[in-house]
Amino acid sequence: MTSLPKTAPKKKLGLVIDLDICVGCHACAVNCKEWNTSGKSAPLTDLNPHGKDPDGVWFNRIHTYETMNDTGESRTVHFPRSCLHCDDAPCVTVCPTGASYKREEDGIVLVNEDICIGCKLCSWACPYGARGYDETEGVMKKCTLCVDKIYNKNLPEESRVPACVSTCPTGARHFGDLNDPGSDVSKLVAAREGYALMPEQDTKPVNRYLPPRPKQMQTVDQTPRALIHEDTSSDAAPLLARWVDKILSV
Amino acid sequence: MHPAKSVIYFTVATGAGYGLFFWLALLAFLGVLPADKFMGFVMLAIAFGLIVTGLISYTGHLGRPERAWRALSQWRSSWLSREGIMAILTFIPMGIFGIYWVFLGQNTGFTALVGLVGAGMALVTVFTTSMIYASLKAIPAWYNIWTKIGYLVLSLMSGAVLTLALVSAFGLDELALFLLLPVAVLLLLGLVAKVFYWRHIHAGRVVSTAESATGLGRFGKVSQAASPHSADNYLLKEMGFKIARKHAAKLRWIAIVFGFVLPFAIIGLTANFIEIRDLAAQIFMGIAAASCILGLVFERWLFFAEAKHVVTLYYGETKV
Ligand code: SF4
Ligand code: SF4
Ligand code: SF4
């Protein structure tokens, strides 16, 4: 059904992305593709993958932005962008077929590709560019929050997190229930003042972004320590070395 | 937004077709439309033809056209679904009206009443079409009242211009003269609606910014340092369509001249200086209608091409 759940989902599973430590390595984007191309939305078709203008279905993309303030201070921020599993998901309500839906049990937004007609309206409605159209199959695809991984009983408990989360080499991606104030992700959001993207679009995203921490200002002289390569005295050296030194110094 | 030919045809053709039907039904209701079967056939064939080919054109642009029927299920929340349902329901009174007129030679009384219901439903259908676009908050150029007003007025307008051309072609000079005033008023209203629409979207209102899209405004101005991919993806192809400002201004003038000014001038001059029954007058009325539709094609192309989607903020746009 493309109406949103009548009762708010009990759980709101989502991601918390730490912009302070993301290094922009694209590992999460690649592992997202890797997992999902044989998962629920398989395949994540590529067009012209070895040609000049490769294109294809991706659920996760890593941007890099530069910020510059009035005093000329700049920062570089790597910025992963994937579906935010919005509470008031406009991509769901515009869908004419019921293919696009939000799960009542955990708030995950999914596409039923068996009934999607490929009208693309949901991708127009999403402010965040989280939907990808599969030209070969004529249907819409999107981040599944790795629904086929996080509940997968065949996997060891600790592997039941989204592919992008488990692969991140810096631990910049966190997964959990953002509706439970006691969850690790909720605590993280509270401690770091996690925020939602484009709140003015009224989509009420579930995912949160943790802002980069303030820059450490240089207060003491931090000129790099230079190594001194020349030995002037062998007094501190062990016995054998002192002998060698003596012989060579003759 | 990418101006897809199929969707431009869909909106222009169905708008004109529903508008034409509206005027035919209204004229029948007023008892001024002769019940000639052949004329009924030609006029309704054009109205139905525009609507049906428009809907087919839209359906053809779907990724899975064979599943199009599924789009009728979500009328509770989706304007596209409502549009589909209204389009189908509207065929019922339109069809009854057509059968009575074309096969039984009747277009007054009960037939006219059914036609009037169809005319009302036709307008509702055009409104639902406008809401497909006007309900998308992520595209501020569409998410405003001028989108809805524009679709409704331009549908009535193009329908009226077509009706005038057709009644002229059938030599119905009195009816043509009767239509002059509504046509003139609608051409003016259409132009005003579009001018207000363009003023609205170019007034410099800002809904979202690169700063709000990334949440990094706290550190200053945000600019894109590196793109996440080397070639354009679906998002950029579908929603990153860019049109140069100076081209937009030129195209706006083309739309204004062909869509509104020329039809107004041609119709006005023809009505004043030539007998409607003259072949020359009939040809000029036809040219006016063709010019109007051509202008609307430019207008609709711009409606898509000029509309910026907020997702472009992630790809280097600074404000939308
Ligand atoms: S991020 Fe986009 S696709 Fe995901 S739930 Fe929100 S509106 Fe829908
Ligand atoms: S593309 Fe598919 S999922 Fe998206 S709105 Fe259309 S039918 Fe629904
Ligand atoms: S949750 Fe899964 S599908 Fe979504 S971005 Fe991460 S890896 Fe991709």
- Of B291, B293, B295, B3, nearest in space to B141 by CA: B3
CA of A128 to the centre of ligand 1 (A): 7
Q: How far, in Å, CA of B59 to CA of B64, rounded? A: 9
Nearest Cα to Cα of residue A175 among A11, A10, A13: A13
pLDDT tens digits for chain B (320 residues)?
Answer: 999 999 999 999 999 999 999 999 999 999 999 999 999 999 999 999 999 999 999 999 999 999 999 999 999 999 999 999 999 999 999 999 999 999 999 999 999 999 999 999 999 999 999 999 999 999 999 999 999 999 999 999 999 999 999 999 999 999 999 999 999 999 999 999 999 999 999 999 999 999 999 999 999 999 999 999 999 999 999 999 988 778 999 999 999 999 999 999 999 999 999 998 899 999 999 999 999 999 999 999 999 999 999 999 999 999 99
The phi, psi pair for A145, rounded to 5°, reads: 55, 25
The ligand minimizing its distance to the Cα of A133 is: 2
Residue A242: its pLDDT value, please? 86
pLDDT tens digits, one per residue of B267-292: 999 999 999 889 999 999 999 999 99
Which among B67, B220, B309 is the nearest to A67, CB-wise? Answer: B220
Residue A231 lies in a domain: no
- List of chain B residues whose C-beta atoms are within 8 Å of the C-beta of residue A47: none
Q: Which of B2, B229, B317 to mutate to test the interface with A (most CBs of A within 10 A)?
A: B229
Chain B partners within 8 Å of A27 (Cβ): none
Mutation choice for ligand 2 from A57, A93, A110, A116, CB with most ligand atoms inside 8 A: A116
Of the pLDDT bands very low, low, confident and very high (cuts 50, 70, 90), residue A237 is confident
Q: Any CB–CB contact under 8 A between A152 and chain B? A: no
3-class secondary structure, A131: strand
Judge if ipTM > 0.90. yes
Q: Could you tell me if residue A96 is inside a domain?
A: yes
CB pair distance less than 8 Å for A61 and B228 = yes
**Min Cα–Cα distance to chain A from B224, Å:** 4
- The range of the structural domain enclosing residue A140 comes to 13-218
Ligand nearest to the CA of residue B73, numbered in listed order: 2
Return the beta strands (E) in chain A as ranges.
Answer: 13-18, 46-47, 55-56, 60-68, 74-82, 100-102, 109-111, 131-134, 139-142, 173-177, 208-210
The answer to whether A3 contacts chain B (CB < 8 Å) is yes
The domain spans of chain B are 1-135, 172-320
Q: Is residue A243 part of a domain?
A: no
Note whether residue A249 is domain-resident. Answer: no
Q: Which residues of B127-141 are buried (b: 16+ CB within 10 A; e: fewer)?
A: bbbbbbbbbbbbbbb
Q: Which of A64, A117, A195 sits opposite B71 (nearest CB)?
A: A117
Tell me if chain B has a CB within 8 Å of the CB of A139: yes
- Confidence band, pLDDT 50/70/90 cuts, at residue A1: low
Number of separate domains in chain A: 1
Which H/E stretch holds residue B226?
strand B221-226
Which residue out of A17, A18, A48, A63 would a mutagenesis test of the B interface target, given it has the greatest number of B Cβ atoms within 10 Å? A63
A168: tokens are 């991140």
DSSP code, position B307 = P
pLDDT per residue as tens digits for the range B220-260? 999 999 999 999 999 999 999 988 778 999 999 999 999 99
Instruction: Return the pLDDT at A218.
Output: 63
Residue A224 above 90 pLDDT?
no
Q: What percent of chain A has pLDDT over 90?
A: 81
Nearest-angstrom CA–CA distance, B245 and B306:
9
B65 touches chain A (CB under 8 A): yes
| DSSP H helical ranges for chain B | 5-29, 37-60, 79-104, 110-134, 145-169, 173-201, 210-214, 234-239, 245-256, 262-273, 279-305
Tell if the pTM clears 0.95, that is, is over it: no
b/e sequence B265-288, b meaning 16+ C-beta within 10 Å: ebbeebbeebebeeeebbebbbbb
Tokens 């003491």 correspond to A220
CATH number at A144 reads 3.30.70.20
- Contact with chain B for residue A193, Cβ under 8 A: no
With b for 16 or more beta-carbon neighbours within 10 A and e for fewer, the B299-315 pattern comes to bbbbbbbbbbbbbbbbb
Q: Is B320 on the interface with A (CB under 8 A)?
A: no
In Å, how far is A223's CA from the nearest CA of chain B? 26
